[in-house]
Chain A
Amino acid sequence: DAKTTQPPSMDCAEGRAANLPCNHSTISGNEYVYWYRQIHSQGPQYIIHGLKNNETNEMASLIITEDRKSSTLILPHATLRDTAVYYCIVRYNDYKLSFGAGTTVTVRA
């Protein structure tokens, strides 16, 4: 599996966009980028995934660089309920996911 690097923590102001970076410089051509988040004391929640094109859904947008060595998850209007640990995972089309330490995002009023 390609290894991912995320900042350990970041703060964001409520109502502003939160941009979460992830480096995956060893990603191979058939590996997808997945994002999950885990709110305290709950199970992880799927957010979005992509291969090379940018993706958007009702929760977030995923921007993948052209060389695919990094990506950014964008929460367009962060709310207090978005406070969570965000995991960036790179995986081939396989049903097993490996969760690292993630980024602890704190949204402040």
Chain B
Amino acid sequence: SQTIHQWPATLVQPVGSPLSLECTVEGTSNPNLYWYRQAAGRGLQLLFYSVGIGQISSEVPQNLSASRPQDRQFILSSKKLLLSDSGFYLCAWSVQIGGTYEQYFGPGTRLTVT
């Protein structure tokens, strides 16, 4: 069966520090991968998605970046964190099933920028 891992689960970082969040998927090949952010009490905002190694699409301008060095690895990074980067970061994967896509989410990383 497929599983998705994210780490760390929680993170407290000072403003201006770098960030690296990692997501890995097991049990599937060539998945679409996604990074979402959820601010406190808000809905999910799609940040990046990737349909293959090295292929990254950004949905919103920001000081974050994403990379996909391996088929089942997706990394979210920042060189200098802002207070507004605080939130719940979720990684997800999907594959096409019978003509539609179902997305499956990881446990998330709660980031607090101080």
Chain A interface (Cβ < 8 Å from any Cβ of B): 32, 36, 41-46, 49, 87, 93-102
Contact = CB atoms under 8 A, between A and B. Distances in A.
B61 interface: no
Contact of A102 (B43, B90, B100, B106): B43
Contacts of B106: 43
Nearest to B102: A46
A95 B32 contact: yes
A44 B51 contact: no
* Pairs A-B, 5 closest by C-beta atoms: A43-B105, A99-B44, A95-B101, A99-B43, A95-B32
A42 B36 CA distance: 13
A43 B107 contact: yes
Contacts of B44: 44, 99
A53 B7 CA distance: 39
Interface in B35-69: 36, 43-44, 46, 49, 51, 59
Contact of A100 (B43, B92, B103, B105): B43
B46 A96 contact: yes
Contacts of A36: 103
Contacts of B43: 87, 99-102
Contacts of B49: 95-96
22 contacts: A41-B108, A41-B110, A42-B107, A42-B108, A43-B106, A44-B44, A44-B92, A44-B103, A44-B105, A46-B102, A46-B103, A49-B100, A93-B99, A93-B100, A93-B101, A95-B49, A95-B96, A95-B101, A95-B103, A99-B36, A99-B43, A99-B44
B90 A43 contact: yes
A45 B92 CA distance: 10
Given A96-B46, A102-B43, A46 B108 contact: no
B33 to A, nearest CB: 10
B100 A43 contact: no
B112 interface: no
A32 B43 CA distance: 20
A49 B102 contact: yes
Interface in B76-114: 88, 90, 92, 94, 96, 99-108, 110
